[in-house]
Structure 1
Amino acid sequence: MREIFEIANVIAKEHNINSSAVIESLAEAIKISIAKKYGEDCVVKTSLDTQNQIFNIYIEKRVVETPKKHNEISLEEARKIDPNVNIGDYVDVEFDPEELGRIAVSTAKNVMSKMFKDLEKRVTYEDYKKKIGKIVTGEIWSVGVYNDCIVDFKNAIGILPKKEQSPGDKYVVGETIKAYVMDVLEEPKGVKLILSRTHPGFVKELFMKEVPEVRDGSVEIKAIAREPSKRTKVAVYSKDSKIDPIGTCVGAKGTRISAIVKELGDEKVDVIRWSANLSIYIKNALAPSKVSYIELYEDEKRAKVYVPDEEFSAAIGKMGVNVKLVAKLTGVNIDIIKESEMDKNIQEEKPKETEKTKEEIIDELMSVESITENLANKLYDSGIRSLEQLKTLSLDDLKNIKGIGEKRAQKIFDVLNQTT
């Protein structure tokens, strides 16, 4: 039955499914049709040789003196197949599909139709399952009574629930839409995708699409905090000291970040530098608001952050959005306090960085072996205002400062550790 391979190849091409799976479905359909014609007690076997394109169907028959049933065969006929059989033995007799008849053929067609639909659905499900955690593009099919959005993907349907929609998004039937795949369900009617446009993964995937360095791993997204339609903060990092992770993500003249902002409905996106040093990380996350002093309780995952009185509102943000995002991003409960409310004891402990001139700070930094004047200026530009602050930096923090090579960062780190 070489014809079955030709049929299978045509069906596989039409439905975009594996030809081997089609052959197995055809074989199963034929077995069901034979059982329908001859009864459930009929033992049907198939032999499939894909390489040589050989497919045979056999019915197991019992050897008897006088055959009376469909699953019996005479000794004379049986020995034409196997000369060694005797009465009571079983032989596999090759079956001719033409014996099926019109009704059985119709049954086979119906069985095959259902099997192909199930197989097609399974292939679609497995295909979309690989896209969980990725962005897909579909067409808005309808917007429901409760504002749940139905998205058409031709071979699957997507559901964008109201709670997963960004408040600023507008959905128009017939327009294309990008969404993040949270889950894929295989249901009786077909494959259903559960979508989101508020998930932090949606933002991460947009960066993956727009920033090649994020895609290839040379720039890493460490954390994302988002208040949809209001603001998003993205913490980035690169092991390569030659790469500026923030500049890389923003792009020349803001081209990369602007494409992301546009997809998010002009939502404000802050790209900040991640640091293993929690105090520096919090300070970076609050930028451009200036931080005067941080009282950090790492074990309790909380921090009191003191800011100049005039910076207080900006640090909190409209409706507390900024400080809420900083807390999400860093994993630390942040309490913003005005500098004027700082305890006297803390004011005495607070490093008097503002009292030093830039020249004095540069001189202090240059007291460390391997730090030249040029390098001290780069450290100053990166926000370092004292030797004590420099000592709090990890090796990764040093490597991450623009203009410091990996070898020099290692040398400075070793020197600082020897002197502490």
Structure 2
Amino acid sequence: MDNINLVENFSEFKEFKNIDRETMMRIIEDVFHSMLAKKYGEESNFDVIVNIDRGDLEIWHNREIVEDGEVENPNTQIAYSDAIKIEPDFEVGEEVSEQIFLSDFGRREILNVRQALVARVMDYEKDNIYKKYKEKVGEVVTAEVYQIWKKEILLLDDENIELILPKSEQIPSDYFKKGDNIRAVVSKVDMRNNTPVIILSRTSPVFLERLFEQEVPEIYDGLITIKKIVRVPGERAKVAVESYDDRIDPVGACVGMKGSRIHGIVRELRNENIDVINYTTNDSLFIQRALSPAKITSIHLDEENHRADVYMRPDQVSLAIGKGGFNIRLAGQLTGYEIDVYRDTDTDTEDVKLQEFSDEIDQWIIDELINIGCDTAKSVLELDVEELVNRTDLEEETIREVIRILKAEFE
């Protein structure tokens, strides 16, 4: 095994791992100095010269020439009679440099050098990956699906660095197959067993914030600020925005002409409903905006306990609560208030659609009443019990219970 073969081997490895020339030279020098120190007891009087480009590796042993019989340390000194065998012009007191070849070392020592080089290069590479992605935490990256497991997806970036997208960080309706490109935000970077583990997320509010920065130039430029984001991934999100320029409508800028800007974000998030809200320090107004698209008639705040009682027309209650209760839950998270919604029944001039009572009256009973043309509370109350019994297939006891519930709405 000669010098050139060893260095060329790691020169190729260096190119594959994308380690710069100076770093690779330093690693090789350090590894050989360690080997020399182990073999000779010290290495300060050895020179290791590496030229990656040419594949050259030279080791020179530097010793002082002393009189024959006066050699105290053969590692640092050489007898005059031995020195003139190397170069006949040498004199006592001069320094002689003698080249050492890898063939002078044992097979085990060479194997140890190879293993040490591999370990050092791998450690350097791992450290580089860790530092690179530690700086990218909070940034959106694109990577290709390499392997899909039950609890996570393994992805590769354009440098073949492995990234992990756990199931818990995927939008529920996400579906990917091998070869797909995925956009996600770098959530965190850990070192486990001396190996960097890079975790991505598509459910983090930060991911949504970065998507807005990419789609809305005013946010990227700092003219509009995202004050807070809350979301139920894949279902609904609320984004509070504020403009530092009175001429810019923050909500309009984020949505874009005919929704052009927000549509791309919605598609990326698997049709997640996104409400963009104009931020305000007025808590009452902020809660009103957060409950959009529902319209409220009045609100009472308990600022000390962060509770809000919101009153609205009966036909607005279901809008305020939203599908699965997501709208009212997110409004509470966005504003920091615990919100309770009440039907506003201060006036009896308003009628209420029968469907609004679905939480108190069974759907099949409502359907029976709607079939005879009674689709509002007052249209039912205008008829007496006997007529309702005759026109429907409902029992008298059931009808009386329905009437009791409907009358309570207007009391």
Normalised to the residue count of structure 1, the TM-score between the two structures is 0.67
Give the C-alpha shift of residue 137 in structure 1: 1.3
User: Which letter does structure 1 place at the counterpart of 2:154?
Assistant: I
Whether 2:20 is the aligned partner of 1:18: answer: yes
Which stretch of the first structure deviates more once superposed, 225-234 or 22-31? Answer: 22-31
Whether 2:34 is the aligned partner of 1:28: answer: no
How far apart are the structure 2 equivalents of 1:176 and 1:164? 16
Whether 2:240 is the aligned partner of 1:235: answer: yes
How far apart are the structure 1 equivalents of 2:91 and 2:26? 26
Give the C-alpha shift of residue 149 in structure 1: 2.1
Q: 1:67 to 1:99 in 2, by over 3 A?
A: farther
Q: 1:126 to 1:100 in 2, by over 3 A?
A: farther
Alignment match of 1:98 (pick from 80, 96, 101): 101
SS at the partner of 2:345? helix
1:273-352 → structure 2 map (5 Å cutoff): 273-340=278-345
Alignment match of 1:73 (pick from 74, 77, 95): 77
Alignment match of 2:205 (pick from 195, 200, 204): 200
Q: 1:185 to 1:46 in 2, by over 3 A?
A: farther
Aligned residues: 323
Alignment match of 1:148 (pick from 143, 149, 152): 152
User: Which letter does structure 2 place at the counterpart of 1:144?
Assistant: W
1:65-89 superposed Cα distances (whole Å, 9 cap, x missing partner): 5437642414867xx8995x9xxxx
How far apart are the structure 1 equivalents of 2:47 and 2:276? 62
1:297-349 superposed Cα distances (whole Å, 9 cap, x missing partner): 2232221122222211111112211010001111111111222279xxxxxxx
How far apart are the structure 2 equivalents of 1:252 and 1:97? 75
Which stretch of the first structure deviates more once superposed, 319-328 or 281-290? Answer: 281-290
1:147-206 superposed Cα distances (whole Å, 9 cap, x missing partner): 422223353222222222211111222211112211113345843211211111111111
Question: How high is the sequence identity, in percent, across the aligned residues?
Answer: 33
How far apart are the structure 2 equivalents of 1:99 and 1:48? 12
User: Which letter does structure 1 place at the counterpart of 2:220?
Assistant: R
Normalised to the residue count of structure 2, the TM-score between the two structures is 0.69
Whether 2:45 is the aligned partner of 1:42: answer: no
User: Which letter does structure 2 place at the counterpart of 1:149?
Assistant: I
1:209-228 superposed Cα distances (whole Å, 9 cap, x missing partner): 11111112111111111011
Contact 1:56–1:94 (Cα < 8 Å) also in 2: no
Whether 2:179 is the aligned partner of 1:174: answer: yes
Contact 1:59–1:95 (Cα < 8 Å) also in 2: yes
> Who is 1:266 aligned against?
271
- Structure with bigger gyration radius: 2
1:362-407 superposed Cα distances (whole Å, 9 cap, x missing partner): xxxxxxxxxxxxxxxxxxxxxxxxxxxxxxxxxxxxxxxxxxxxxx
Which stretch of the first structure deviates more once superposed, 211-220 or 93-102? Answer: 93-102
User: Which letter does structure 1 place at the counterpart of 2:99?
Assistant: D
How far apart are the structure 2 equivalents of 1:82 and 1:213? 78
1:6-60 superposed Cα distances (whole Å, 9 cap, x missing partner): 9899875543233332222111111123235x24x2244678999xxxx997768
Which stretch of the first structure deviates more once superposed, 59-68 or 310-319? Answer: 59-68
Contact 1:17–1:123 (Cα < 8 Å) also in 2: no
Whether 2:164 is the aligned partner of 1:159: answer: yes
Which stretch of the first structure deviates more once superposed, 113-122 or 252-261? Answer: 113-122
Q: Which has the higher contact order (CA 8 A, sep 6+)?
A: 1
Whether 2:224 is the aligned partner of 1:219: answer: yes
Q: 1:140 to 1:121 in 2, by over 3 A?
A: same
SS at the partner of 1:34? helix
How far apart are the structure 2 equivalents of 1:63 and 1:117? 41
How far apart are the structure 2 equivalents of 1:198 and 1:34? 53
SS at the partner of 1:296? strand
Contact 2:31–2:117 (Cα < 8 Å) also in 1: yes
How far apart are the structure 1 equivalents of 2:327 and 2:92? 84
Contact 1:286–1:326 (Cα < 8 Å) also in 2: yes
Which stretch of the first structure deviates more once superposed, 187-196 or 261-270? Answer: 187-196
How far apart are the structure 1 equivalents of 2:96 and 2:154? 54
SS at the partner of 2:19? coil
- Say what the alpha-carbon RMSD is for the aligned residues: 3.5
Q: 1:93 to 1:215 in 2, by over 3 A?
A: farther
User: Which letter does structure 2 place at the counterpart of 1:270?
Assistant: D
Q: 1:46 to 1:181 in 2, by over 3 A?
A: farther
Contact 1:42–1:60 (Cα < 8 Å) also in 2: no
How far apart are the structure 1 equivalents of 2:160 and 2:92? 50
User: Which letter does structure 2 place at the counterpart of 1:236?
Assistant: V
Q: 1:113 to 1:81 in 2, by over 3 A?
A: farther
